[in-house]
Structure 1
């Protein structure tokens, strides 16, 4: 009798979803192996669409490459952390110094570490719906429970502070904000942020704010950093080089802990401990941090009329406006659009099935909206990184697929057939 048994995996992994790189992405790889040419809009990965990190960031790494062989401090290069502290002090973030700056292998690692330092089994984290699914996954895998507050389409994808406060329980430890928002492109006004800070203050909740798209803004949208609004209340701000500076592969992110030091010292030390356990973050990429915080603005022109991101966004907005099958809340920031399917094509619509159909028949890879932990199944996400003409072609294919669905749902069964069936 065989004694071989499959290895058992962690049970909580069954609760984790990450369709951005999940089943559909695996199918896309299989189609590419067969020689199919795909347009992949599932990941906000600027380098895959021809963007390059700014030259002054590249030079900073090249000029310091001889210093990158050893481990560095577990929190990050001292000069890089000083540069970040200075940059956030210039934004009026309170109580910032280099000892409260944490550099990680991308924001993803830091999200995991900060939740691991915070949560005991069964603790709850208030997370937006739709969310960036890493927040839910990291909460679950650190033995917490995600509790979702709605950012409803009919409210411009803005959260409702009243609902947020109603969800607070004795186990709630933190509120997550993603601003500018992925996947919706919403940019939160100051008044809304002030109300959420007030809730966190009343209930002693840590604020965790993902601001990785803080400078990716369109049509005069105004970004308000949360830390200055939070003041003495504990807050962690996440950002990095991946999006604004188009350097995803360098895996350089940071987390800035603000708030009164007397309230955050133990928590800061817990993150320090976890940082030491992984030794340190990628050293080479950290040499670009000071250049990023003090160098020229290279993102605003891309987001202004005539800029590549702006024109691709315009192509998406115009395509959705021209389609009888799509509706779109125009993204004000970030690198994504989150259209919904409407009309006859929406009858019985299943976003995952449609994404698979679109991949197989039109060779376009999108992310189903339900992957972002929403209860509805009529949205999907695309990145705004392709050229505008490519995006025009993409939405032509999407509209073609939706037209086939609309025709199928409105097709009338002939009277003779109905009589025979009876």
Structure 2
């Protein structure tokens, strides 16, 4: 079956790891020089004895105060955030896991537009035993839409009603903004419509904004924290972390902000299993309170480097005939490899992924994100210039070593179509993954 195939791939992949170029893991490797320099300043080493004692499982009060000030300013919060509404955990994965069991009962479902970051499903299952209810998005642009993979409230309604027919009680809606893997940003109006939809159906909304400050173009990002007069503030829960925007995926710190006292109280009972070390909280507090460094060094430099790296990868992919979806944020691009599939199936996608891995290139296949169209891959660009060039070189060698063997079919959109949301995009395939979509075993996508 499908899962057995992925296990076999995982085992064979282990033997190939040496020398593999990893553009599959969403990590920001562009700004460690800035972080290293800031870590060398004296304030980082002023550690008080209480930091080495048993911590407040909700997070140190001083750390939560700095987080509240930071998010108030950088998320453009409608009102000053209350640090008592914040819980700090060892990563956003822990936030997903704890919320799943606090908000829902085993067997309940949660709505989530697909494709989406695949790791959410395992986290929501771990404690809560929840099942995803996908809202399928496609590359084909209909008359009512303006760009590929567009979310609408009508699609949310359709997925919810289908779940009800199947006897699934849906309790929550998960939105990733900026989106992973699409790299898009939800317009403020759509965000409001989604919140109103959830309010009508009494659904909790979990807003994952972990790429909030990794916007590299001039598109306006609207945080849910910035909206005044939320339709249902007691059911709206925000998460963010240091992994992406600060390039600190190894530091393992995630943040939950909720105004629901009962939810917060229940989450804090589980937070004891997911607490962050005191010295780590101190160090991160120094980062957050240094606004001069954030505003004049780190964030502008990070944005500039992200944009340069994104341009480099997009241009390189275009040179080898691979268009990408237009994106504004995140550390990756969503690339269209459909014309290189031998058939428009997920089996062919897996075969292409294996061939790329054999050429020592690891990128993430669309099926790992529960995409309903085969042939889409996520490539991470937040790495060195040398690695991006090497990626393009290996793609060129593999895809065009023998062009006669390349199966070019008309389902692939042109680069101009995908990069320009005003133009139509063709080729929705009927081969949807349906129940066969499962998180690939041994292939961890972050």
TM-score when normalising by structure 1:
0.81
CA separation of 1:25 and 1:86: change in aligned 2, threshold 3 A: farther
Q: Which residue of 2 aligns with 1:96?
A: 81
Aligned length: 381
Q: Per the alignment, in what secondary structure is the counterpart of residue 103 of structure 1? A: strand
User: How many Å separate the matches in 2 of 1:208 and 1:378?
Assistant: 29
1:332-411 matches, cutoff 5 A: 332-343=328-339, 345=341, 347-348=343-344, 350-360=348-358, 362-404=359-401, 407-409=404-406
- Equivalent of 1:69 in 37, 47, 52: 52
CA separation of 1:44 and 1:211: change in aligned 2, threshold 3 A: same
CA separation of 1:226 and 1:156: change in aligned 2, threshold 3 A: farther
CA separation of 1:187 and 1:248: change in aligned 2, threshold 3 A: same
Structure 1 stretch 23-32 or stretch 93-102: which is displaced more? 23-32
User: How many Å separate the matches in 1 of 2:302 and 2:9?
Assistant: 30
Deviations 1:111-135 (A, max 9, x none): 1111121110221101121111121
Q: 1 or 2 for the larger relative contact order (CA 8 Å, sep ≥6)?
A: 2
Contact 2:29 2:383 in 1 (8 A): no
User: How many Å separate the matches in 2 of 1:16 and 1:96?
Assistant: 44
Contact 2:28 2:331 in 1 (8 A): no
Q: Per the alignment, in what secondary structure is the counterpart of residue 175 of structure 1? A: strand
User: How many Å separate the matches in 1 of 2:186 and 2:396?
Assistant: 31
Q: Per the alignment, in what secondary structure is the counterpart of residue 184 of structure 2? A: coil
Contact 1:211 1:238 in 2 (8 A): yes
Q: Which residue of 2 aligns with 1:417?
A: none
Unaligned segments of structure 2, at least 5 residues:
141-146, 409-446
User: How many Å separate the matches in 1 of 2:300 and 2:213?
Assistant: 7
1:176-187 matches, cutoff 5 A: 176-187=174-185
Q: Which residue of 2 aligns with 1:301?
A: 301
- Equivalent of 2:136 in 144, 150, 155: 150
Unaligned segments of structure 1, at least 5 residues:
1-13, 259-263, 412-422
Q: What displacement does 1:211 show? A: 0.8
Q: Which residue of 2 aligns with 1:7?
A: none
Q: What displacement does 1:289 show? A: 3.3
TM-score when normalising by structure 2:
0.77
Larger Cα-atom Rg: 1
Structure 1 stretch 315-324 or stretch 342-351: which is displaced more? 342-351
1:209-224 matches, cutoff 5 A: 209-224=207-222
1:163-174 matches, cutoff 5 A: 163-168=155-160, 169=164, 171-174=169-172
